[in-house]
Structure 1
Amino acid sequence: MSKQIKVLLINGSPRENGNTFTMLSWVKEGLEKEGINAEIYQLGRKDIKTCKSCWGCMKTGKCWQEDPVMDELIEKIVAADGIIIGSPTYYADVPGVVKTFIDRTVPFAIKNTLNRKVGAAVVMARRGGAIHVYDTINHWFGINGMITIGSTYWNDGYNPNVTDQHEVEKDSEAKNTMKNLAENMAFVLKRIVE
């Protein structure tokens, strides 16, 4: 394999080192064991501008708004072979910053920028609503023509005590699911890049 494979893991949680980060770290560790370059990008506490629905990006392929966070994130996404979006569950969906990010990537779909890249959702929940979060993220992969990766179960984890980030460590099923997700993603990426 001559090309270094890159995976960008986006942490949509405002808790920089919380439960979502822990689950993404498990995937990152698995990808690195497979020789894949993996980076976690902290989106959750950053301010990004909302979509103004002006459709200017339909003409230029780029949003007219000055937004250094989105510019940096878009650059990293374009350079990556695989993208994992990690998100906590907020009222049975992604938090606002993740939805804003999704809304602002309309130019990707217009220009087929992400077509045939590999994507996976990683979802953290206290008790319920995780499947809707999983669907929101996977719909973004689908509309962008990406190849979606699953694991041995849904790519999610549970922690009834969300304020204690170490509680997710007790979810052995989630840890195993993230390990298998990394292996599945590596398997597909290596065959695409060959």
Structure 2
Amino acid sequence: MSKNILLISSSPRQQGNSDILCDAFMQGAEKAGHATEKIRLAEKHINYCTGCCSCIRGGGSCVQKDDMAELHAKILAADVLVLASPVYFRTYNGQMKTFIDRICPIYSMIRNKDVYFIISAAGGRLPVNSTVESFRVFTGCLSDIREKGVIAVTGVWDEGGVRGSKTVQQAYVAGANA
């Protein structure tokens, strides 16, 4: 059965390590016959949540006029969500946090999805573990979410340093099995 897979890449670098892992995941998923789309948050105009609570009173829409409304529709239509981020101070980066905060208008509508986390860290396992836990805090606010996998690479400082690693193959296989 073909699935609709939405990858959210928060890497500010177009060929950053987490972004490369997204591409490998996509290649595997496409080879398996799934429809994929990667959203690079760095290429979107997404404002910070202002905490105005208009989305709660407004039936799931935000008063801000930016690219998030388009992303809301894509999130709701996806069967599989892939959240990808480099590690900044033991958690996902600011682009991912802003994206997550702006899901507030639709979070109660997000249900019955498989999720994968893709994480790249210059440091060791500790930052990966805390980043996974941060993602789980978010997905724990959603309904009927099934965590299907964590694809993580550590010790990669340089842009593109993940190329040729076993983690690229792991991302490909995860996509193929999504």
Q: Residue by residue, what CA displacement relative to the aligned partner does 1:124-175 show, whole Å, maximum 9, x if unpaired? A: 111131222222223222211222112xxx420124332x31x211321x12
Counterparts of residues 18-57 of structure 1 (less than 5 Å): 18-57=16-55
Between the aligned residues of both structures, percent identity stands at: 29
| Unpaired segments ≥5 residues, structure 1 | 186-194
Counterparts of residues 31-180 of structure 1 (less than 5 Å): 31-60=29-58, 61-67=60-66, 69-110=67-108, 113-128=109-124, 129-145=127-143, 146-150=145-149, 154-162=150-158, 164-165=159-160, 167-172=161-166, 174-180=167-173
Q: 2:88 & 2:42 partners in 1: Cα distance?
A: 12
Change (3 A) 1:29 1:72: same
Counterparts of residues 11-22 of structure 1 (less than 5 Å): 11-22=9-20
Could you state the TM-score of these two structures normalised by the residue count of structure 2? 0.88
1:6 aligns with 2:10: no
Larger strand percent: 2
Are 1:44 and 1:98, in contact at CA under 8 Å, matched by a contact in 2? Answer: no
Are 2:29 and 2:177, in contact at CA under 8 Å, matched by a contact in 1? Answer: no
DSSP 3-state at the match of 2:140: helix
| Unpaired segments ≥5 residues, structure 2 | none
Are 2:55 and 2:63, in contact at CA under 8 Å, matched by a contact in 1? Answer: yes
Q: 2:110 is aligned with what amino acid?
A: L
Could you state the TM-score of these two structures normalised by the residue count of structure 1? 0.82
How many correspondences in the alignment? 174
Q: 2:50 & 2:3 partners in 1: Cα distance?
A: 34
Are 2:31 and 2:176, in contact at CA under 8 Å, matched by a contact in 1? Answer: no
Q: 2:76 & 2:106 partners in 1: Cα distance?
A: 9
Quote the offset at 1:93 in angstroms: 1.1
Q: 1:39 & 1:159 partners in 2: Cα distance?
A: 28
Quote the offset at 1:37 in angstroms: 0.7
Q: 1:59 is aligned with what amino acid?
A: R
Answer 1 or 2: higher relative contact order, Cα 8 Å, separation at least 6: 2
Quote the offset at 1:15 in angstroms: 0.4
Q: 2:11 & 2:100 partners in 1: Cα distance?
A: 15
Quote the offset at 1:101 in angstroms: 0.8
